[in-house]
C-alpha cells in the first residue's frame, strides 16, 4: 500500500476560503463606495463653485472697460446706423446674448458655463459656437442665435450655432443670473459694487422659487447637488465670493432698501431686512420705480421690452413667474 504522505495536498483555496474572501471584499466595498460617492459629489460641488467664481470674475474684468458696469449686450451692440454707436438696445439684454458676448470677447469659455453636476439633458455645452461669425464692422459682436443678436438686418444665421439659454428647448448654461432688464435692480447692482450681500449668479432653483408642491418635488434642480428632497447650490455674490447652501432664503442675502408698506404675502416681511427668496421676484407691494429691487436669479431667454427697445421699461412681478415673460429658469 502506498503511503498517503507520498501524495501532498494540492495547492489552492477551498470553496469556503473563497467565499470568506468574497464576503470580506463585499463588506469593504459596502463601506467604501458611499465614501467614494460622497467624495465625487464634493469634488463636483467644489468645481462648480470655481466655475461660478470664474464666470463672475469674467464679468468683473469686462467691467473695467465700462466704468465698473457689468457687461450688457445692448451696450455692446447698440441701436444706430454706425456700428458701436447709438443708444443701448434693450432688446439685446438677455442671458443668451450676455454669455454669448462674453465667450466672443474671450472673458469666459463655453465649458465653464455648464456645471459638472448638471442633471438635465436639455443643458449641454455650446460646442458649435462659431467665432468666425463675429464681425464688429457689420454690427455683430457675438455668434448670434436669433434676430435679437444677429447684427445688421436681424436675420437668423443658418445653421444656428450661437449660445442658447432656453430651458424649455436647449440651454448652454446651468447657471441662473440676475435679470438684466432696465430696472432699479440693474441700476444699483449690475456693476462692480463689491456687495457681499447681493446674489448675482449661481445654481438655478425650482420654478419661481416655489419651496413646496409639484414645482418643487418634480424639479431636476434638486438633484444638481442635493438629493431628491432638498435643494443644494452654490450662490455667487457681487464681491466674487461663493457660498454653498441649502435654502432659497440665504441669511447673507438682504434686498436693496425698500420702503415699509403692507402686503407682499406670507413669505415676505416688507422692510429693509426682508427675507429674500433668491429665485422669486418677491418685492411684495412695491410699485413703479421701486419694483424689482431684490436679489433674484433666473435664466433669461429674452427681454420683455420688445415694444420699446431703447427706453427703460419696468417689468411686472408676474413676468418672472411664467414662460411668457421670457424667464425660463427652472427645469
Task: Give just the sign of the alpha carbon dihedral 84, 88, 90, 93.
Answer: positive
Q: What are the boundaries of each domain within the chain?
A: 48-325
Counting beta carbons within 10 angstroms of the beta carbon of residue 48, is it exposed (0 to 12), middle (13 to 18) or buried (19 or more)? buried
pLDDT at 327 over 80: no
Residue written as grid cell 498517503: 4
User: Residue 100: which pLDDT band, with cuts at 50, 70 and 90?
Assistant: very high
Per-residue cell: 269: 416681511
In this predicted model, what pLDDT tens digit does every residue of 45-82 receive, in sequence order? Answer: 999 999 999 999 999 999 999 999 999 998 988 877 77
Instruction: Give start and end residues of each alpha helix (H) in 190-285.
Output: 214-217
Mean of all residue pLDDT scores within the chain: 77
Of 262, 302, 299, nearest to 279 (Cα)? 299
Per-residue pLDDT, averaged over 106-113, amounts to 96
The DSSP bridge partners found for residue 166 are 170
User: Residue 264: which pLDDT band, with cuts at 50, 70 and 90?
Assistant: very low
Lowest mean pLDDT among 55-64, 233-242, 314-323: 314-323
pLDDT at 314 over 70: no
User: Residue 289: which pLDDT band, with cuts at 50, 70 and 90?
Assistant: very low
Per-residue cell: 236: 455667487
User: Residue 184: which pLDDT band, with cuts at 50, 70 and 90?
Assistant: confident
Amino acid at each position: 500500500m502506498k503511503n498517503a504522505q507520498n501524495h501532498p495536498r494540492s495547492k489552492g483555496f477551498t470553496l469556503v476560503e473563497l467565499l470568506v474572501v468574497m464576503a470580506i471584499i463585499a463588506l469593504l466595498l459596502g463601506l467604501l463606495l458611499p465614501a467614494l460617492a460622497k467624495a465625487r459629489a464634493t469634488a463636483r460641488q467644489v468645481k462648480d463653485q470655481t466655475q461660478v467664481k470664474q464666470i463672475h470674475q469674467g464679468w468683473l474684468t469686462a467691467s473695467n472697460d465700462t466704468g465698473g458696469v457689468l457687461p450688457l449686450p445692448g451696450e455692446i451692440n447698440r441701436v444706430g446706423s454706425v456700428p458701436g454707436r447709438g443708444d443701448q438696445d434693450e432688446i439685446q439684454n438677455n442671458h443668451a446674448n450676455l454669455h454669448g458676448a462674453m465667450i466672443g470677447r474671450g472673458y469666459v469659455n463655453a465649458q465653464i458655463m455648464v456645471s459638472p453636476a448638471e442633471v438635465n439633458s436639455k443643458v449641454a455645452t455650446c460646442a458649435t459656437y462659431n467665432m468666425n461669425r463675429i464681425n464688429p464692422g457689420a454690427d455683430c459682436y457675438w455668434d448670434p442665435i436669433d434676430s435679437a443678436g444677429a447684427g445688421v438686418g436681424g436675420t437668423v444665421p443658418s445653421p444656428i450655432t450661437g449660445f442658447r439659454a432656453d430651458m424649455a428647448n436647449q440651454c448652454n448654461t446651468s447657471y441662473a443670473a440676475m435679470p438684466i432688464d432696465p430696472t432699479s435692480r440693474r441700476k444699483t447692482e449690475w456693476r462692480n459694487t463689491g456687495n457681499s450681500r447681493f446674489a448675482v449668479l449661481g445654481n438655478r432653483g425650482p420654478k419661481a422659487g416655489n419651496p413646496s408642491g409639484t414645482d418643487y418635488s418634480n424639479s431636476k434642480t434638486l438633484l444638481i447637488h442635493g438629493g431628491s428632497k432638498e435643494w443644494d447650490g452654490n450662490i455667487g455674490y457681487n464681491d466674487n465670493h461663493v457660498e454653498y447652501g441649502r435654502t432659497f432664503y440665504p441669511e447673507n442675502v438682504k434686498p436693496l432698501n425698500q420702503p415699509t408698506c403692507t402686503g407682499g404675502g406670507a413669505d415676505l416681511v416688507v422692510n429693509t431686512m426682508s427675507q429674500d427668496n433668491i429665485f422669486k421676484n418677491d418685492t411684495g407691494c412695491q410699485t413703479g420705480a421701486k419694483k424689482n429691487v431684490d436679489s433674484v436669479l433666473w435664466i433669461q431667454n429674452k427681454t420683455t421690452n420688445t415694444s420699446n427697445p431703447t427706453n427703460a421699461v419696468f417689468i411686472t412681478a408676474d413676468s418672472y413667474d411664467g414662460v411668457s415673460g421670457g424667464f425660463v429658469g427652472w427645469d
